[in-house]
Amino acid sequence: MKKILASLLALVMLLCVFPLGAVSVSADYVSGDFVYTISNGKATITKYVGSGGSVSVPNKLDGYSVTTIAQWAFWNCEALTSITISSSVQTISSGAFAACGNLSSVTISNGVTSILESAFAHCDNLSTVYIPASVSVIETAVFNDCDKLSTIQVAADNQTYSSRSGVLFSKDGDVLLQYPSGKNGEYSIPDGVIAIGDKAFSSAYGLTSIIFPDSVTNVGDSAFEQCTSLTTARLSKNLHIISNYMFYDCANLISVAIPKSVVSIGESAFWGCDSLTNINIPDRVTSIGTFAFACSDKLSSIILPQSVTKIDAKAFFMCPSLANVYYTGSEKQWESIYIGSENDSLINATIHYNYQAYTLNFACANAYKATLQNHPVSTPHTYGSQTIYIDTEYTLYDIDKDNTPELIVKEDSTKYYVYTFDGITTHLCRQTRWNYANCLYAYPTNGLVVYGGGQGNLQTDQLQGSFLTDFGEGVE
């Protein structure tokens, strides 16, 4: 009899602790479409088991306040099209709504304080997100790889974050945190930005060109990882480190000028940059990380400064086209460099010792022609550089008749970069009728196109030829 009374008493105690509407499933509980756990009297949704469509996360489940949506709770729910997150929820955990491919609408109520890493990553149909004032923590890559996301809006009274033209920043604007993956075309980072967060531009497949202001000093890891349409990058002259995975798998990156301020190149920084043909490593760099330029199929030549003391294993792994290394130091200095294993592409290339860069120095504004010979590397340099590597003869003309010579460089059939030279300083031409960027590009294989008429006569559709002879007027 005592055993029966004890059993009944235990059952009564259990019923007092757990609600009648909650059914135990491996220590979890089910209420309607939600599986949840209880901790300190609060509910955490661990799994959604409903049929999808438009879903609202309730404030309470069986009387327990819902405060957390757990990691992967809605992961890969293809049937989910809309989600409203109630004001009781404080934390949206890592990957909570990741890979919900048909999710097109997200409403985050004021009350949510934390959105953790990759919470909404790979939500291919999500186009706009609004961050309420209550949110104080947004971790890395929250909206990474959302192909249609073009706008991240932030409440004006949010004390931690802000939005500029749909891009997520810190409240003071010093840090760029997330560039929406669905934005297309060129992007100029606003002046005054100091840092770019980890994975800030990762998987921004439509990004074609990026221009840094010189205020940027720090770029996080994987910042431009898998930006597969990115062709050009103009970096800050005050950047100190090319971070790990910075341009990882940017297969169409044609040209990037590494600033003279850089002292190290991180792990896998340019891994898989198949369109890079040459690179100039500036003379303050001391180390090149593992896989830094690995699997860059077209990389054929590099300029390597004598400041480099360490090249980690596989830094130039599987670079089959690498034929020439132009080293600014002596053979003895080259032999003292630590070169890690599996850098056969580098070791087997022809090493040109004591390489020196040459500069253009125009004695007067009327000097419109210049010739550099025996310089086998064509390398882009940052805006304002007076150094150009090129193995060709080229001509400069006073296109806009202002007594200053101009140079037009063709990248492809639609993009032309126009520069002027005043003494030894490089200047950008006026923007009229020309598509230009902040780097100087020289492509001997495509040639330089020059037109000698007035600026008003220059039409974009006329710039189709690739050699000087294509333009008769003004060409000697």
pLDDT digits (tens, 9 = 90+) for 309-344: 999 999 999 999 999 998 999 999 999 999 999 999
Residue 208 has pLDDT above 80, yes or no: yes
pLDDT of residue 357: 52
3-state secondary structure the chain: CHHHHHHHHHHHHHHHHCCCCCEEECCEEEECCEEEEEECCEEEEEEECCCCEEEEECCEECCEEEEEECCCCCCCCCCEEEEEECCCCCEECCCCCCCCCCCCEEEECECECEECCCCCCCCCCCCEEEECCCCCEECCCCCCCCCCCCEEEECCCCCCEEEECCEEEECCCCEEEECCCCCCEEEECCCCCCEECCCCCCCCCCEEEEECCCCCCEECCCCCCCCCCCCEEECCCCCCEECCCCCCCCCCCCEEECCCCCCEECCCCCCCCCCCCEEECCCCCCEECCCCCCCCCCCCEEEECCCCCEECCCCCCCCCCCCEEEECCCHHHHHCCEECCCCHHHHCCEEECCCCCCECCCCCCCCCEEEECCCCCCECEECCCCECECCEEEECECCCCCCCCEEEEECCCCCEEEEEEECCEEEECCCCCCCCCCEECCCCCCCECCCCCCHHHCCHHHCCCCCHHHCCCCCC
Residue 118 has pLDDT above 70, yes or no: yes
What is the tens place of the pLDDT at every residue in 132-180? 999 999 999 999 999 999 999 999 999 999 999 999 999 999 999 999 9
The residue behind tokens 């879903």 is 55
CB contact burial 321-351 (16+ within 10 A = b; e otherwise): ebebbbbbbeeebbeeeebbebbebbeebee
C-beta of residue 216 within 8 angstroms of C-beta of residue 242? no
Alpha carbon distance 37, 73 (integer Å): 12
Q: Which residue type does 410 have?
A: K
Alpha carbon distance 454, 155 (integer Å): 50
Q: Average pLDDT over the chain, rounded to whole? A: 77
Backbone phi, then psi, for 15, in 5-degree steps? -65, -30
Alpha carbon distance 352, 330 (integer Å): 9
pLDDT of residue 406: 53
C-beta of residue 364 within 8 angstroms of C-beta of residue 404? no
What is the tens place of the pLDDT at every residue in 384-428? 333 333 333 344 444 444 455 555 444 443 444 455 544 333 333
pLDDT-derived band at 62 (thresholds 50, 70, 90) equals: very high
Residues 6+ apart with CB under 8 A from 69: 44, 45, 57, 85, 89, 91, 92, 93, 96
Q: What pTM does this model have? A: 0.73
- Return the top range by mean pLDDT from 376-385, 417-426, 436-445: 417-426
C-beta of residue 265 within 8 angstroms of C-beta of residue 281? yes
- Rounded to an integer, the average pLDDT of 75-93 is 98
Q: Which residue has the higher pLDDT, 355 or 302?
A: 302
pLDDT of residue 280: 86
